[in-house]
Structure 1
Amino acid sequence: YLRNAPTQKALQKESERLVEEIHYFDVLRSDRSISSNGLEARTPFLDKAFVKYYLSIPAELKTFDGVNRLEKYLLRNAFAGQGLLPDDVLWRRKCAFSDGVSSQKNSWHRIIQSFVDKKISDEEFQRESAKLNHCTPQLKESYYYRKVFTNFFGNNEQLIPHFWMPQWTDVDVLDPSARELKDYQE
């Protein structure tokens, strides 16, 4: 979604916000999920010096169009010609995170939705989600996660300030999955 930033200043500001809030969403989720299974996640591109350096790069050098310049162009270009990654891997189009663990025909995103639809009735979702004032679930899937969270951790929903959602989409997106974005459906 970053390629849809209306200005370079907006791109820079959103990049900084994502780093500032990363402990609420992606990194926290991966750390907890992985470590609960006795494994350890490595996030080399979250090295503080690297992040500080990357954020200091002018936004105009980080812009991309998804065709001539792909996401993470600067990082990809740094590895180009080094023989560390095959070019077809280095320059392939970015896919949604869940695509790495499922097929594109039946994505992990769709598998979860199907599972949740069997667990949560429309009536329960409407009735119970309306009672939740902070981060009110807009979809059955997010309501299901909230229900599981509350079961294990009680009413501590204030731990996150808001739902993470992509900006600058051409429609009102209720689901944070990249699979719902037009860029990943092309």
Structure 2
Amino acid sequence: MMDRPEKKPVKPDKKSALAKAEHYCAYQERSQQELRDKLYEWGLWSNEVEEVISELIQTNFLNEERFTKAYVSGKFNIKHWGKMKIKQGLKLKRVPDKMISNALKAIDYDEYLKTILMLAEKKLPSISEKDPYKRKYKLVSYLLARGFENDLIFEVLKANDLA
């Protein structure tokens, strides 16, 4: 077996990088930071990265607000994450705080409480702890890890006689 020299990835020119980035953004909503990281990964220089990003914003392939709304709705409706965990995820993607809080306002309060209850009822049978205090602690810890707020967890558990 002959040793082949390792192929170095070819740095795309701005035009092909733009086309590749359009495809990347059309496939799924992206944050500016995700795209920025991807463009650097492809070997573009910082001035090219910013040019490609501003061009994608102008052509509406990249829209941070649309991304934020899609992220919030997906993480809440599909993954059943709480607002704290969603907010943390968006902060990691460097989404502005104002945009995060506006997108989180779109989550219906009653749906939010129903989701906490649904997760609690689903989790409870799998907690084998006999001591009611430890059992409650494990349930609350689980819901906190899902990103729900402490006061709301207790409110829901108390109102539904789960605590």
Which has the greater radius of gyration? 2
Higher relative contact order (CA 8 A, sep 6+): 1
TM-score of the two chains, using structure 1 as the length reference? 0.24
